[in-house]
Structure 1
Amino acid sequence: MSVSRYRLTGREFAGDAPDLSGLLAAAHEKKVRPRCLCTAAEPEMYVARFGDDLLLKRMPGTGHLHDPSCPTFDPPPELSGLGQLNGKAIVSDHEGATVLKLDFPLSMRSGRAVTPTDSKVAAATSATATPNKLGLLGMLHYLWDTAELTKWRPSWAGKRGWWLVYRELTAVAERTSSKAGPLSSILLVPPQFHPDRKEALARDRDRFLHHLQPAKGKPVPLGLLVAEIKSQEPSQYGRRLRFKHLPDMAFFMDDDLCRRFDKLTTTKARMVEAIDGAHLMAIATFSMRGNYAEIREIAVMPVTADWIPFDDEREITLVKALADRNFVKCLRYNLRADAPVASVLLTDTTPPTALYVPPHHLAPEAEADLREIAAEGAYPAWIWSVGEFEMPELPMIDRG
């Protein structure tokens, strides 16, 4: 794969230039934007600081302006649920910062959420969210998408661990905020757990969660958790959830939330258990009660062993078949499970190919609508029809 090239204040340089760190440091200090030379449009980039590192990032909303072979390429928003939300629930500025408008509360009064919701449990089939606000599952999709965990190249096989998921999600939080404030102040993504660092990790977590403790006479702030569900066990008043990399922190759900949770997530949980290496990711709002947390709202998302999201058995079959291909997984955000969006965009064909895998329960008239929309899309379409048991032959790789 060729190395990306950029232009900064009249100078062209490669992504592996020996003095890259110096160039990025100067650009960050002067707040000037490099341009990516992958297409004639030369889309702007920006320099982001993550700890001691400086990285080149695409400007929000410009991923589709890059060449499909460029590492910063993203599908056009209309191929996923993102197109419904851009500029409404998701608003980005020219410095790479993003403000999210949410349809779930991040604080409570007297034990009740400030903003009422129809259900404590969010699901892909929920119809409560609107294009003007981002639902809880849509929030997880935004984090995953922006962290580029939806992208795949064969050379990444075996190289994606939780440390990378943690790093990328927390980096997104650093440049994202909501009406309640910076996302980084409430988002708990557990770092990789090591027994020999157990006490240090617990101290860091307690320090982070301290401001979420309730104060008399003030609204109770809610935290936001993104973690992998490890197990569930009965508790006196409901259930305790255990999360990977959080062995020493307790999260509880009451009986009512348990019933809703089981109704909406049991199928996904069993599907993950049946697939080797798959993970069941959760996003949840929670309140602190001393040294334990109470979950207030929760949604789940199945992902493969390589952290690629999928909705059902047909999508996991497709994703497995694409293990040796370059692609981007498209996500639904607020949209219903039967919405006519692409499942995957293949980026190793010229032009890219949009792959559609409608759910097996999709009605014939809805599939007809999907075919019509796919035919009018920006890229050629490949469709695995509901009526076909065997997956059709995939488009060939363009090796030109």
Structure 2
Amino acid sequence: MRSRLLPRDVLRTGAAGLRARPGRMALAALGIAIGIAAMVCVVGVTASSTENLNRRLAVLGTNLLTVAPGASMDGAPTHLPPEAPMMIAGIPAVTAVTATGTVTASAYRSDLIPPIQTGSLAVLAARPDLPDTLRTTLARGAFLNAATARFPVTVLGSAAAVRLNVVAPGEQVWLGGHWFTVTGILTPTPLAPELDSAALIGWDVAERLLRFDGHPTTVYVRTYDATVESVRAILAGTADPETPDEVQVSRPSDALIAKRAAGDTLTALLLSLGAVALLVGGVGVANTMIVSVLERRSEIGLRRSLGATRRHIRLQFLAESLTLSGAGGLAGVLFGAALASAYALHEGWPVVIPLWAAGTGLAAAMLIGGVAGGYPAWRAARVSPTEALR
């Protein structure tokens, strides 16, 4: 009668071999766990970051375009016409337009600071409709309006407020030789990062007190999602009909998408490193199983003498290898998911752990276990009973 080994018997004998040497087996499983944890963590962090970016783009919109002056044929800087925002607003598909203009002035916390220490802060003339067009909000205070824009008041970008040590509206800063009262502080503006390190003042007061020439340096344009490309094609000619080649038109959301693409490249590199760690863990499992075969030759010989076939011996050691790798893979998935979740929560991102990443991690661990345990299992099955018991 042919001897049979039931699946539960295979699992029981495989688990028995692991329990007999818990310390060595735990260290071997640790190598698998580290590789799987690295891969799951990288995928989880990337997925969480991507979801956060998608949500930000959904709120900010990808239908924002910016118009700025370029350079002439001889490389000299150019200017947008003062009427550029008004002409762009006449495009039927445009839903909102605002502009800022660079003012030749520096921002200081006090009039006692030497002029050479500018702090890299810009002073920009702005229109009251800027927050609505850019969909930005204020962390504190209020933005410029039709009344306050005529007086020496300013709204600071998030980074400018930190550098000037302004924590609340009502404080004063020194702009271009005049005291300006802070009425508000903006939240970070991802689609217009130049505003974060700027002090925004009214268009009229900039012309009256700081000799602003009235030329916009950046025009922000909102349009419908379906008409972004068509509007983009005619913006240069609309903003400056005489010299459209000297006008630059860009889409700020492209910078965020490019940032995500750069992050994808880094993710691929980190996944490769995780794969290397997983391969090293597989080598560790193979080494552990080979040593186990050498140490258990008498056990193998005894089982063969009691009727176990070569197939039974192969299944026993293959089960040990798969169980070892499976345990390491499961621990790696759980640890990697925990690390990715902790990092996402720390950054304020939504936690996203793709199920396919966990499934792929376990499958990779089992595959490594099968490959790593194949040779030791075959070697164990080749042991002769008489030689093993001698």
TM-score (norm 2): 0.22
Query: Which protein shows a greater Rg?
Result: 2
Larger strand proportion of the pair:
1
TM-score (norm 1): 0.22
The higher relative CO (CA closer than 8 Å, separation ≥ 6) is in 2
Larger helix proportion of the pair:
2
